[in-house]
Structure 1
Amino acid sequence: MPETDVPVSPTTATRGCWFPRSRRSPLLARRMLRELLATVPDGDCYSEVGELLTSELVGNAVLHSGMPGRLVWVSFDVDATRLRIEVHDASDRPPVPQHPDATAGCGRGLLLVEALAVEWGHFPRPGGVGKVVWCECAPHRSA
Structure 2
Amino acid sequence: MNRTDASAGEMPPAPEAFFGLPRHRASVRSARTLLRDFLSGMPGGNALGDAGVLVLSELVTNAVVHARVPKGRRIGVRFELLCDRLRLEVHDASSEKPVIRRSTGPDCSSGRGLCLVEALSVEWGCCPRPGGVGKIVWALVGPEGGGR
The TM tier, using the shorter chain, reads 0.7 to 0.9
Runs of 4+ displaced beyond 3 Å: none
Which one-letter code corresponds to 1:33 in the other structure? L
Whether 1:83 and 2:86 are equivalent positions in the alignment is yes
Which one-letter code corresponds to 2:72 in the other structure? G
Whether 1:35 and 2:37 are equivalent positions in the alignment is yes
Q: Is the 8 A contact 1:46 1:140 kept in 2?
A: no
1:15-62 CA distance string (max 9 Å, x none): 110000011111101111111101311211111000000100001001
Identity among equivalent positions (%) equals: 46
What is the alpha-carbon distance in structure 1 between the residues aligned to residue 82 and residue 125 of structure 2? 20
SS in 2 for 1:9: coil
Unaligned runs of 5+ in 2: 1-10
Q: Is the 8 A contact 2:44 2:84 kept in 1?
A: no
Which one-letter code corresponds to 2:51 in the other structure? V
When Rg is computed on C-alpha atoms for both structures, the one with the higher figure is 2
**Given the alignment, which residue of 92, 96, 103 partners 2:95?**
92
Q: Which residue of 1 aligns with 2:139?
A: 135
Unaligned runs of 5+ in 1: 1-7
Whether 1:23 and 2:30 are equivalent positions in the alignment is no
Does 132-141 or 49-58 show the bigger shift? 132-141
User: When the two structures are superposed, what TM-score results if normalisation uses the length of structure 1?
Assistant: 0.88
Which one-letter code corresponds to 1:93 in the other structure? E
How far does residue 140 in structure 1 lie from its aligned partner after superposition? 5.0
Q: How many residues align?
A: 133
Whether 1:107 and 2:93 are equivalent positions in the alignment is no
Which one-letter code corresponds to 2:12 in the other structure? S
Structure holding more strand per residue? 1
What is the alpha-carbon distance in structure 2 between the residues aligned to residue 32 and residue 80 of structure 1? 20
How far does residue 80 in structure 1 lie from its aligned partner after superposition? 2.9
What is the alpha-carbon distance in structure 2 between the residues aligned to residue 42 and residue 134 of structure 1? 20
User: When the two structures are superposed, what TM-score results if normalisation uses the length of structure 2?
Assistant: 0.85
What is the alpha-carbon distance in structure 1 between the residues aligned to residue 89 and residue 18 of structure 2? 9
